[in-house]
Amino acid sequence: MNISFEHIEEELLKFESLLKQQYLSIKNDSYLDAIILDAVKIFEYYKNKTSISLTEERELFRNVIGIYDLVSKLCRVYGKKDFDQFTNHLEILSKSKDKLSQNIKSEVIEQDSNNIFELLIGSAVLEVTDNLFMENPKDSQKTKNPDIIFNYHGKKIGIACKVMHSKNPKTLVERFQEGAKQITRSGVDGGLVVINLKNTNFCLN
């Protein structure tokens, strides 16, 4: 599917309107605010055939596409009955200055980026179910349960989302075991551990 610059810009502005309907606004100087400005910049560059460096072009596209992928999923599921499960994550998305695009590296201290990974997975899950529960990212006891719980074909399924910040294979195994324990402890019928490797250079053969 071909995606035009106009469509990306329209989708981001549509999402801004969606946030307002959730009584949220995009904070000035937030990461999302910068991404929307970057999208407008890209559109203007190509509309006016302005020359930019290849390095700047790649960086702009990479950042914008990462957020576009997320907001397009959220726009598709907006209006479903469990969309309000995303409220706390959307608040983070609208205010955080952390690097939130899920196709670029983030720092260990940028915990908001980890929460937005949960939102990305949750938005994909909501496309196939109407029974979704998202753990509150602000809850200090959050690590005790899977990040996402939903019903699918009569079964309760849990998803533990993990983000790697180390190249150490041992750490990868530990994150997987941690997620598996969360799923088992929650009493769901089954589950998945979804691991984000964007911050590593793992080569899976």
pLDDT in tens, 15-63: 999 999 999 999 999 999 999 988 888 887 777 777 667 677 788 888 8
pLDDT tens digits, 113-136: 999 999 999 999 999 998 999 999
Q: What is the DSSP letter of 108?
A: T
**Phi, then psi, of 187 in degrees rounded to 5:** 80, 15
Q: Report how far residue 62's alpha carbon sits from residue 111's, in angstroms, rounded to the nearest whole number.
A: 20
- Residue 130 CA neighbour count, 13 Å, CB half: 3
